Structure 1
Amino acid sequence: MSDTPAEAAPAPPRSLPALRKHLFTLIRQRLWLQVLIGMALGVGFGVLIGPTSGLLAADLATLVGNWVALPGRLFLLAIQFVVVPLVVASVIRGIAAGEAGSDLGRLGARAVAFFMISTLLAVALGVGAATLIRPGAFVDTAAVDRALGEGAGAVAAAPARPPTIDALPDMIVGLFPTDPLSTFVSGNMLQIVIAAAIIGLALVMTPADQRRPLLDLLASIQAACMVIVGWVLRFAPLAVFGLLANITSRIGLSALIGTGMYLVTVLVGLGMLMLCYLLTARILAGRRMGRFLADTRDVMLLAFSTSSSAAVMPLTLSTVEKRLDVRPAVARFVVPLGTTINMAGTALYQGVATVFLAQVFGVELGVGGILLLTAMATGAAIGSPGTPGVGIVILATILASVGIPPAGIAIILGVDRVLDMCRTVVNVTGDMVACVTIDRMMPEETAAEPAAVPPPPGA
């Protein structure tokens, strides 16, 4: 369907100035196209100043890269500035204003079940892909041993133990907030979602005339946050350019050569997981794949550029409500929850990385090791924050637990940011597929819906 009114098609521009004006108009109207251009220019500029070209000295390239990345870093800070108030307002209004108290149990159970199943599937796909492709066979293990030194194998002799059953009560208690105010400023997204859900449930049991002022205040907070998001998104292409230029200037294209098969294995696994998500949306929610991808491309491109599902959460929420037509009562509960606990792409990556490094160091995982890997990758992914680079930190714990030297992370560190960008796209896609699927499964009476969150300008 055309975006313009039905009228005679204008003649194609013939002069160069007219063509340039037509192109600039096209770009200004499409955020995703601006982001794509920023990505391409950022990678090109990063290659130009990075180690691949050798045009600049290493110190100077780092200095230039840091300055170029400044808009991107400010962009991420600006988004993080509104994430907590937007999550709190969205979760509370999604529960209380939607009058979904009677269906909240089913909504939460289905959301958690969806994320758990998708995470387990992701780990299985990652381990299976790494076992079949065997990317570790393409690495010179002798060179790795020389590079990492004799201390690399020390950890393998004494693997760490997973949490014992007597420690689980303390872990569960630690999930619940003790003080709402300190929780909201702590940045612990899981505790923030739980605290907001408790307040939302309490408001459901409160008389309508008493909860209305607070809900109106939260609605105003939502609207103000989305205005700020609209301002920030106007600078997204510049931020994307800076972030990718900085990354490329530091790792260079040559860093991909030594771990090329590992990179391919992770991408194959992520591709299979993405296909599973799209098939789920098609079969369970009746969403055509092409249409779904077209409606969500802005979110996916921004997720790829920022490597942070938390940073794109406001745009994800707006897209789910406005373009995918998911009821606000469902979207405002599932999206913040998914941003917090749905890290299926990260779990898949950790499965591939663990098997890959086990092959490199000659560690036999066995059935017990695979089961431990699956449990730890699933639990760690659910508990990890949606911020850039967190996967590599969690991976070190998993490696030590199955007897693989964490020093081996140095082998894959060069391409981790590239894979971080890819797995963030899959994580965010999982959040949106969960929304459309659960929305289709929930009864219509779930929503005496609140007013929708206004879309960010230009999104």
Structure 2
Amino acid sequence: MFLEIFGAGIGVLLNPSMGLLSEDISLSLAYWLDLPGQIFMRLVQMIMIPLIFTSIITDIVGNTSENLKTFGVRLLLYFVFTTTTAIIIGLAVTLIFKPGQYIYKLGGFPNNGESQIIPKEQADFIGNIPNAISNLIPDNPLESILTGEMLGVVIFTIIVGVAITQLRPETAKPIIRFSEAIQKICMIVVSWAMMLVPYAVFGLMAALLSRTSIQIFLGLGYYMGVVIMGLIVLLLFYLVLTLIVTKKNPLKFLSAIREPQLLAFSTASSAAVMPLSMKTADEKLGVSSNISDFVIPIGATINMDGTALFQCVTTLFMAQAYGIELSIMSLLLITFTVVAASIGTPSIPGGGVIILASVLQSAGIPIDGLIVIIGIDRILGMFRTAVNVTGDLTACLIFDKFYGAKSKTDIPFNNS
């Protein structure tokens, strides 16, 4: 955040309106300041498809235990339900408050002209709903990969992942090992890209403010407020589920999970909180260990409700900032893409932003302005990770009611 503010200060000084530099020199310096951000975005785009492909496959084939056979389908349907609810909340708050329109009035985010904006009629598939549904399945996966059609890639990957689970273990093992290796390689490249973030944020904010005004910070603050508002509504949704389904006191539930929430808020990583979440579910919520040991690891990789809400709000925010009007069908496609892409979101700091690039690309929205979001993503990541962890513990409580052991009279939470 310091580098973002410092970069903004440099950008203000470079702005021709200050009279220190001519417009030509200011523009030339802005191009050089943009360079780290452009390199970062190139690395993200380069690694995007293999990362999504391997993440989804390893998640699907890695969760085929006996618990998955007993209640796994219901758990996955529940995760789809909560993720869809989170996206609907994100759509609602963004369409109501329109945070991107303020940025658009100030000149919008940068666009290098290479991103292709999908025309409205093409986004609607130029057809009816049955044709739109059938067109979700790519007839040529290689073409989807080459053209960056991320929705087709995600659907193809899910189909392949489910098919791999039907293979004999000795046949599937080499494929799984290969996918895991590629995923680790992708994460190494991602870590390299993330090392550029401080310089990219500094350079882009300086370049952006050299062309526009400092009022853009007000627009970004408004956007952050909309995201946090959506996350609060999603948190209230979890509390209502807890009250209705489990008949537990929502306030006592929040008190019991305070420690993993605080750790999630401070680390911005669902994976780092998993051990504490399991311990809290077992000892403070009275959840059976066979439930928590299964639900929480899957939830940390699949049940990214807070991240899905963030991706949805940011996608619409970016569209509004670029002046792109999205049709109803485009919004439905964004919803489906975010649900599917959230399966492949790495449970690490910044993972949501990496996958967000694929969502933007599938919606035909330029991803150049994404580097601006990365500058404030750490703050938003803390909030959404805390909500993600809350969602996983809520799922534990709900599924323990139906599938957990019944003899837990020694747990204070269950007696209150």
Give the equivalent residue in structure 1 for 2:152.
163
* Residues 340 and 153 of structure 1: CA distance in aligned 2, closer, same or farther (over 3 Å): closer
2:373 and 2:218 map into 1 onto residues whose CA distance is 11
Give the equivalent residue in structure 2 for 1:439.
400
Give the equivalent residue in structure 2 for 1:450.
none
* Residues 167 and 329 of structure 1: CA distance in aligned 2, closer, same or farther (over 3 Å): closer
Q: Give the aligned residue type for 1:338.
A: G
Q: TM-score, normalised by structure 2?
A: 0.63
Give the equivalent residue in structure 1 for 2:83.
119
1:438 and 1:187 map into 2 onto residues whose CA distance is 33
Matched, 1:278 2:243: no
Give the equivalent residue in structure 2 for 1:411.
372
**What do residues 32-71 of structure 1 show as CA deviations (whole Å, max 9, x unaligned)?**
xxxxxxxxxxxxxx869984999xxxxxxxxxxxxxxxxx
1:315 and 1:183 map into 2 onto residues whose CA distance is 31
Q: Give the aligned residue type for 2:257.
A: T
> What's the % identity of the aligned pairs?
34
Matched, 1:107 2:71: yes
1:173 and 1:299 map into 2 onto residues whose CA distance is 35
Q: TM-score, normalised by structure 1?
A: 0.57
Match of 2:173 among 175, 178, 183: 178
**What do residues 2-28 of structure 1 show as CA deviations (whole Å, max 9, x unaligned)?**
xxxxxxxxxxxxxxxxxxxxxxxxxxx
C-alpha displacement at 1:107, in angstroms?
2.3
Residue pair 2:269, 2:385 contacting (<8 A) in 1 also:
yes
Residue pair 1:321, 1:328 contacting (<8 A) in 2 also:
yes
1:130 and 1:179 map into 2 onto residues whose CA distance is 44
- How many residues are paired up? 301
SS in 2 for 1:406: coil
**What do residues 138-179 of structure 1 show as CA deviations (whole Å, max 9, x unaligned)?**
21445335xx25526545579853317777643544678524
Say which is worse superposed, 179-188 or 113-122, in terms of deviation.
179-188
Say which is worse superposed, 107-116 or 385-394, in terms of deviation.
107-116
Q: Give the aligned residue type for 1:402.
A: A
C-alpha displacement at 1:287, in angstroms?
2.2
SS in 2 for 1:151: coil
* Structure 1: gaps (5+ residues): 1-45, 55-90, 96-100, 190-245, 448-459
1:166 and 1:385 map into 2 onto residues whose CA distance is 19
Match of 2:256 among 273, 295, 299: 295
Matched, 1:136 2:100: yes
Larger CA Rg, structure 1 vs 2? 1
Q: How does 1:181-260 map to 2 (within 5 A)?
A: 182=177, 186=181, 257-260=218-221
Give the equivalent residue in structure 1 for 2:294.
333
2:319 and 2:175 map into 1 onto residues whose CA distance is 43
Match of 1:427 among 381, 388, 396: 388
C-alpha displacement at 1:109, in angstroms?
2.3
Q: Give the aligned residue type for 1:178.
A: K
Q: Give the aligned residue type for 1:354.
A: T
SS in 1 for 2:369: helix
C-alpha displacement at 1:390, in angstroms?
1.2
* Residues 170 and 327 of structure 1: CA distance in aligned 2, closer, same or farther (over 3 Å): closer
**What do residues 399-436 of structure 1 show as CA deviations (whole Å, max 9, x unaligned)?**
11111111121332221111111111111111100001
* Residues 255 and 336 of structure 1: CA distance in aligned 2, closer, same or farther (over 3 Å): farther
